[in-house]
Structures are given as structure tokens and as C-alpha cells.
Amino acid sequence: MLVTLSALAACKGSSPAPSGGTASPAEVRWPDAGPAELAIAERVVALPSGELADAAHPAIMQDETGARLAFVRAAGDVRLVYVVGSGAYLGPVTKAPIDFRAAPDLDHALGSLFETAGERRAKLVADVSKAKGDAGIARMLIDGAGVDGHEWEEAFAKLPEPRAAEVRAALAGLLERGKPTAGLERAVALTPLREPARAAALAARIKELTDPVRKPRATAVMLRSLTSVDKAQGSQLGCEVLGKKPLDTANAKGTPEEIDLPGREALVEAALLAIAAAGTECPHVAAQLGEDVCTASFRCNEQGPLTGRETTKQDEPLCTKEQLAQAVTKDLARGPAEVLALSSGTRPQLFAFATLVARGKTPTTVTTAHARRRYAVVQPKEPECESGVAPGTPCHCEEAILRDQTCRHPEGNNVSVGVCKFEIDDKQKKLFNVVATAPP
């Protein structure tokens, strides 16, 4: 039985009711504090701020099962609400008037429920599990793959393998050109990408997602994976990526989260890794070397390029071609989860340096600065320059400071830093005449 708009509006308030369905016993409540809420028997769901006009009591309609409800929002469109197990959850917003025959049923609304459930996602997962079983959880995870939150990973981890395989297979479809990008990060994390058969599809998807740049973290994972199975194609795409200047976001559209500058840095790193791994020429590499020619990662110890966190005298040599090749291979093997989370940071300058060294094109500004950094240090063992001795007194300055500042003054012969002053002799290749100076 259908209730007419005019009759229901007269009974429920001034807001027009959605078209179709029957009157629901559910009602809107306005607590003294907090947002409005929708009460459906013993179930209560808070409504978002601004969902309704102040003190509004819109008509609530329901389908014949009472599992789908709808009401008109303040904006004039319609909010769907779904009863699942012992809970009620906000569904998608659709244009008015609503027709329950065409509105999404629960199976086709699970993704949007997961997106809007917020802090109640854990309860939603439990309710869907009771109402729909593992098949319902799998459908919810597929449709809600683009939603942030640890609840997704927790629910996926509990799925039996046949259902987990369904989720992985569905998400793998997102790797194809032209498919939606929501959920792409989870797709690249769960799909075995380093298979030669996937190379063509990965290349096509990378091209699509870098013109303009979208989902840079997922694209970085795909480019790394492509490079691992096809270095030539990975290098070509890497050079194309650098040519698009992904770090120049002046004209990029979207929120900072959507633009994702850290993700773009990961994409640039992946592009440089691809070029370094192939050892090919790219005119855009030198620009990624950065302005800091003294960056720690250009130097190597027995473990490879430094991270900048080591305790060191800064007397290490520049990395060799062989050491840099090993660093490229090691970094290329990093897993998707680490790349997506940027848990190890990015080192684009290192991989730009590796490419230039491999091709015999290391800038002289780099080699000269680091050669001077390794000159012999001639200074007294004491007193310490920081001990308050009078300016001009010969003293001992931390060796790492002397070497670092020598590198950072590639054309200077007299350097002053903090309370230390010293000279550089290029003929004798030494750092000497270390004396105290007045603090800056």
C-alpha cells in the first residue's frame, strides 16, 4: 500500500516525502546535545551535521521489507538508510523522488555503507557477516576498496581463501586502463604484479595515470613492478614521467590529499629507479640530482649508500658504480606496502646520482666538492673550540663539521662555522689552521 505525498507530509511534518514505499515508524529525534538521529525501533543512527534543517522532522518511507528507508534531506535530495542485523547505516544519497524498485538493494550498497559507517565500521562488518556471510563481506570489501581504515584489512584477513581470492580477482581489474581508480592502492598491494604477462597492462595503466598524475603511490608501485620484469619499458615510461614534472603541482587540481605530494615524490623515485636499473639515457635525470651536492646518500660505506643517520667523520668516499647498482637492485625489491606507506622515505637524488655515475656523467661540482671533503685534517687535539677559548686560539673542531663545511664551500679557502674557523689548502690537500671564532 502506498501513502500519498500530501497525506504523509501532513502526518509527519512539512517536508515532502520520498515517492513510493510505505510510511515507516522510524522517526527523527533531536537530542539536547549533538546531531539529529534517526531511530528505527531499538536501532539509532546519528545523522551528519547539516543533513536536515534545524528541528526538521521529514517523512520516513520504507520498502516492503522494512530493510531500506529513505527521507528527504535539507538539500532536497534523498538519503537511503539500510537496516542490517542489529544496526542501521547511512547509505548513498540519490536524486528525488526515490523509487525503491530502482534504488540499490543491500548487496549493491555495501560499499557505500562501509564508506559512511566511520567509527561504526567494526559493527557494520559484524552485522554484514551475520546477515550475508562471507559473500557479503567480500562484496563489501570489493565495493569499498577505496575507503581508508584498518577495518578493511582486518575484515579481509578473516576471509576464507575462496572469498579472499574473489576480492583479489575483482581488485585486479582496477589495473586495467580506463577502470576506476578508487581502491587502486589495495589492488596493487594484493595483486602479484611482477609477472611478465602483466607488463603490457601495467604500462598502459601507468601512461593513463600520469597524464595527468593521479594515484601516484599506486602508480609508483606499478612502475617498480614493470621495471622488475621489463627494464627497457620501465625506463622509457620513467623518463616520460619525469618529463611531465609531477612535483610541479601549481596547476594540479584537488585537495592536498588528492594531489599527494609525498606520493608524487615516490613516483619520481620509481621513475629514477627504472632509468637507473636499465642504465639508459634520459635528459630529465640531472635535474633530479638536487641542489645539495653533499647529500649523505652519495657516500658509501661497506653497507652501501649512507642514510644520513650514521655517526661518521664524513670521510667516506663517493659511491662506486657497482655499489650504486646494488643499491638500485635492493630498492627495486621493496614491497608494495612499504612503497604505499612511504615508511622508508624516498631517495630520488641517490638514484639520479646512480644513473649519472653509471653513464660516466657525474657532475664535476659533485666530484670536486667531495674530493676536497676528504682532505687531511690538521688540527690540535685540544682545547675544544666550543670550550670558550678566546677567538683566534688554535683549537679542535669536530672533524665531521670541518669535512661537511668543506664540501659545502667548494670554492672557498677560508670557512667559518659556529665557533670554528679554518683554511683549505688545495695544493697540499689539507684542512688546517683551525682556530676559535666568536659565535655567530
pLDDT over threshold 70, residue 44: yes
Q: pLDDT band at 2, cuts 50/70/90?
A: very low
pLDDT, residue 19, reads 56
Which H or E run includes 83?
Answer: strand 78-84
Same domain, 345 and 388: no
Q: Are residue 222 and residue 346 in the same domain, yes or no?
A: yes
pLDDT over 60 (residue 8)? no
Q: Name the domain count of the chain.
A: 3
For residue 121, is it within any domain?
no
Enumerate the β-bridge partners of residue 72: 78
Q: Are residues 291 and 367 in the same domain?
A: yes
Query: How many Cβ atoms from other residues are within 10 Å of residue 395's Cβ?
Result: 23
**Nearest-angstrom CA–CA distance, 149 and 186:** 12
The C-alpha cell of 250 is what? 601549481
- Same domain, residue pair 93 and 218: no
> Is 27 a member of any domain?
yes
Residue 123 domain-assigned (yes or no)? no
Judged against a pLDDT cut of 80, whether residue 245 lies above it is answered with: yes
Do 97 and 211 fall into the same domain?
no
Q: How far apart are CA 270 and CA 272, in angstroms?
A: 5
> Does residue 180 surpass a pLDDT of 90?
yes
Q: Which domain range does residue 422 map to?
A: 375-436
Mean per-residue pLDDT over the chain, rounded: 92
Residue 171 within a domain = no
Which of 66, 65, 73 is closest to 98 using CA atoms?
Answer: 73
pLDDT of residue 18: 55
Residue 214 and residue 339 share a domain: yes
Q: Do the domain assignments include residue 167?
A: no
225 located within any domain: yes
Assess if residue 135 is contained within a domain.
no
The per-type count for the chain, helices as H runs and strands as E runs, is 16, 14
Average pLDDT over residues 311-332: 96
* Single residue among 372, 407, 428 that ends a domain in this structure: 372
Tell me whether residue 300 is in a domain. Answer: yes
pLDDT at position 249 over 50: yes
Tell me: pLDDT of 302 over 90.
Answer: yes
Check if the beta carbon of residue 40 is closer than 8 Å to that of residue 26.
Answer: yes
| Confidence class for position 440, pLDDT limits 50, 70, 90 | confident
The answer to whether residues 282 and 386 belong to one domain is no
